[in-house]
Chains A and B, each alone.
Chain A
Amino acid sequence: MPRETKQAEAALKKLGQRVRAGWAKKHPISQRSRETVRTAVREQWELEQKAKRERMLSQKPPTKNKGKGKDKGRGFGPGE
């Protein structure tokens, strides 16, 4: 690529950086956007908590091991 074209690209890059920086300065995050994000974060978190609770409820309570028939279940564990 000729040197002049590289210079042209560099000037356009500089323009882009300046426009983006100026845009961000002139348009900081709006209150509406802030609220949208907070609501979405809260809703997402609540969904996760609900899913977690449902997972815990769906798990069967552990069976009591009375020490009898200890060897009955052998053969199903990992590596066996």
Chain B
Amino acid sequence: MDDLIKLVRTYRLTAGLPDRERLADDIFSQIEPKMRLFVNGKIRPQFADDVLQEVLKAIVISLPTFSGLTSDGFVGWCRGIARHKIHNQYEANAKASERFQALPPEEIWEHMNASAQDMPFATGERLDLDYAMKLLAESKPECVEYLVKHFVDDLDYDEIAEEENIKENAMRMRIERCVETARELVA
């Protein structure tokens, strides 16, 4: 992840096609799974892959205009493009999009277990993850949406606030309240 911004900046300064293709392969090997996760949470599965391709194309085309300095900034910028494309898709075909779809708990565990193949769970980590799952299970649907967007999809407060059309600080407070309420229910 740390070298992502270096790859992006090098890509922007590279003139030759073979070098650009190689750099794009490296950049999108990191970006594509993140965008797939993002798009899958917002678009019905049968349309998600087509929308993802539109998103990737738009990122390549817009890449010369990206002026950020951090990898996180770049990922956020890519999500902005994805959001725009998803909005277009929603307008083009209302059936394609639907409200937020959280990953089912068994799928969340599948992913967490898959991550342990490369990075085994530390002592006590499973207990923490169990606790986090309970927090999600006890949360109201609206809170599940906010918590998953912030903690799983890794969206910043301002990004979620923009989606919800509210101020960043109000979003931060909503998420904090959701965590607090879930914690009280689990205790």
**Does chain B have a CB within 8 A of A28?**
yes
- Take A19-B111, A22-B115 as given contacts and tell me if A37 and B60 are in contact as well, using a CB distance cutoff of 8 Å: yes
**Does chain A have a CB within 8 A of B28?**
yes
Contact A15 B21 (CB under 8 A): no
- Take A10-B128, A15-B151 as given contacts and tell me if A29 and B182 are in contact as well, using a CB distance cutoff of 8 Å: no
Chain B: interface residue count, which band? Answer: 35 or more
CB pairs A–B below 8 angstroms (28 shown): A1-B176, A5-B179, A5-B180, A5-B183, A10-B128, A11-B135, A12-B132, A12-B135, A12-B136, A14-B132, A15-B108, A15-B132, A15-B136, A15-B152, A16-B152, A18-B115, A22-B111, A23-B36, A26-B111, A33-B52, A33-B56, A37-B25, A40-B56, A41-B21, A41-B60, A44-B60, A44-B61, A45-B17
Hey, which bits of chain B sit against chain A, CB under 8 A? 17, 20-21, 24-25, 28-29, 32-34, 36-37, 49, 52-53, 56-57, 60-61, 63, 103, 108, 110-119, 125, 128-129, 131-133, 135-136, 147, 151-154, 176, 179-180, 182-183, 186-187
Hey, which bits of chain A sit against chain B, CB under 8 A? 1-2, 4-5, 8-30, 32-34, 36-38, 40-42, 44-45
